[in-house]
Structures are given as C-alpha cells and as structure tokens.
Amino acid sequence: MIDREVTVHRNIVEQTLMNVRDYIREHRSVTIKVAISVGVVLVIGIAAIVYGDYKIKKDTADFEAILDEYRTMYTTDQNEHNEKFLRAVTRLQAIADKSYFGYVHRNGYYIIASLYFNEKDYTNAAKYYEKAAQYASPLFASLALQQAGMASEYLNNIDEALRYYLLCESKFKDGYNIDQILYSIARMYTLKGEYYKALIWLKSIDVAKADYDKAYHYYFAESSFKLKDYKTAYEQYEKLLQFKNDVFFLTHSYALIEHKMNLSRQFAELEHVE
C-alpha cells in the first residue's frame, strides 16, 4: 500500500474561517463570554437609540406645547401676564436643561432668549443668547451673539456689547452676518471715543454690497472729524446725504448732517490754505 499525503489548498477566505473555527474550539469559554458581551453591548446600543429618539420627540412636543400655550395667552393684567410669562420660560428652561441632543438641545436657549428679548428683559435675553451660542448651529450661534450685543446696547452697556460682537467676529469670520458684526464693532468703538479703532474696523467692511447699512458713512465721518481728518469727514457726510430716503434719516436730521458736511469742508479748506 502506498501512503500518500493529500494537501488541500484553500483560498484566503476559507483559511481565515478555518482559523476562526479552530480558535473557537480551543477557547470556547472565552468565545462565549465575548459573544455575550457583544450581545449585551448591542442590546444597550439599540435601547439607547430607541430611547434617544423617544426623548427627542418628547422634548420637542413638550417644548412646543408650552410655546403654543404661551402664544395663545392673552391678558390685559400686566401682573398676570408677567406671572404666566415667568412660568412659561421656567418650564421651557427645565426641558432645555435636560435635553442633550435634538431640536430642543440646539435651539431651546435661543428661543428662550428671544422670548426675554420680546419682553424687553434684555439682561436675561443677553444671558440666554450667549448660552444659546454654545449649542446652536453656526448660523444661529452667530446670530445669537449678535442679538446678545443688541440686548446689551439696549442696556447702554457698550463694553459688554462690544465683547459679544468681538466674540462673534472671532468665531464666525465667514458668517452670513459678518459685515453687520464688523459695522457694530466700529459703532461701539466710535461710541467709546476710540476713533482710530473705529476706522480700522470700518475700513474692513465691503461697502460694494448694495445692502450695507448707510449709517456706515455717518460713523466714518464722525470718527474722521474727531481725528481732524476733515477732508475724509466731508466726503463721508456727502455720501451719506445721497441716501436721503434711507431709514437713517428717520432718527437723524438731514439738515444737521448737511451742516456737518459744510463745516468739514470749511475746515478742510482752511487746512489747505495753511
């Protein structure tokens, strides 16, 4: 009888499966424990996903229900109105504080801040807008910081408003509202009497866009005048006067701006003579 060795050649997949089978046979106890652990992890993972979906839907439904109740609330009694408002925002905050994902997590504080803003409670509005910026999408985060700055302006807190605007500019340099932020920073520096800084920020704004705030020329002119650059002040006042139908002139006298322009021209001419 002739002894013959038969060699079975397997491809890489077959060989891998055979190796796995042999390992399982040799380490049956360990394999069972691993299988159980994997099963437990999968069950926990699926449960977490199901619970997360349920929590998102419940938080959103509860949040919107409170908002709907608040919107339909009407009373001529101011004290009653204040009580209902405070109760509503307290309930909304309780949901937002315990929400870790989903719509309420991203937008809850922004909505609460907006409610405070509408009630002219600008201190709490700024507080919640700043908090909202930590959780909202970049679009709403930049808007939240801008709104926080506006709320601070209503409180005549120029330093705090400037802080919010600078924070927004540093975080969202490509934000859709960046030109508005740059303009607001310049306004704050003008109001603080820091005219050199105001001009630096004003010069960074792209005024080639048709929708820029025409009050830009006013702050450019004012800062230039304070720094005794009368020629530039004259030019900026003149440009501003070209927009006589702009909303700027609802709160500013056209005649006064015209007077400032003429005064700037006179000073510029005197400098030229000297």
Q: What is the pLDDT of residue 99?
A: 84
What architecture is the 55-169 domain classified under in CATH? Alpha Horseshoe (1.25)
Global pTM reads 0.77
Q: What is the pLDDT of residue 146?
A: 97
Q: What is the pLDDT of residue 47?
A: 47
Q: What is the pLDDT of residue 66?
A: 86
- CATH 1.25.40.10 in the chain: give the residue spans: 55-169
Helices (H), the chain: 12-26, 28-71, 78-97, 103-118, 122-132, 138-154, 158-171, 178-191, 195-202, 215-226, 230-241, 254-273
Q: What is the pLDDT of residue 220?
A: 96
Question: Is-contact 119 134, C-beta < 8 A?
Answer: no
Q: What is the pLDDT of residue 216?
A: 94
pLDDT tens per residue across all 274 residues of the chain: 555 554 555 566 666 656 656 665 666 665 555 555 555 555 555 544 443 455 678 888 888 888 888 777 767 778 888 888 899 999 999 989 888 878 888 899 999 999 999 999 999 999 999 999 999 889 999 999 999 999 999 999 999 999 999 999 999 998 889 999 999 999 999 999 999 999 999 999 988 876 789 999 999 999 999 999 999 999 999 999 999 999 999 999 999 999 999 999 999 998 776 5
- Other Cβ atoms within 10 Å of 17 Cβ, number: 11
CA neighbours within 13 Å on the CB side: how many for 31?
9
Question: 177-274 adopts what CATH topology?
Answer: 1.25.40
How far apart (Å, rounded) are the C-alpha atoms in residues 34 and 30? 6
Taken as a whole, the chain contains a residue count of 274
How far apart (Å, rounded) are the C-alpha atoms in residues 252 and 242? 14
Residue partners of 147: CB distance under 8 A and separation at least 6: 113, 114, 117, 125, 129
Query: Amino acid identity, residue 219?
Result: Y
Question: Is-contact 205 183, C-beta < 8 A?
Answer: yes
Residue partners of 135: CB distance under 8 A and separation at least 6: 105, 106, 108, 109
Q: What is the DSSP string of 162-182?
A: HHHHHHHHHH-TT-TTHHHHH
φ/ψ of residue 256, rounded to 5: -65, -40
Q: What is the pLDDT of residue 102?
A: 84
Token pair 């960074």: residue: 204
Question: Is-contact 147 129, C-beta < 8 A?
Answer: yes
Question: Is-contact 84 58, C-beta < 8 A?
Answer: no
- Of 145, 132, 221, nearest to 180 by C-alpha is 145
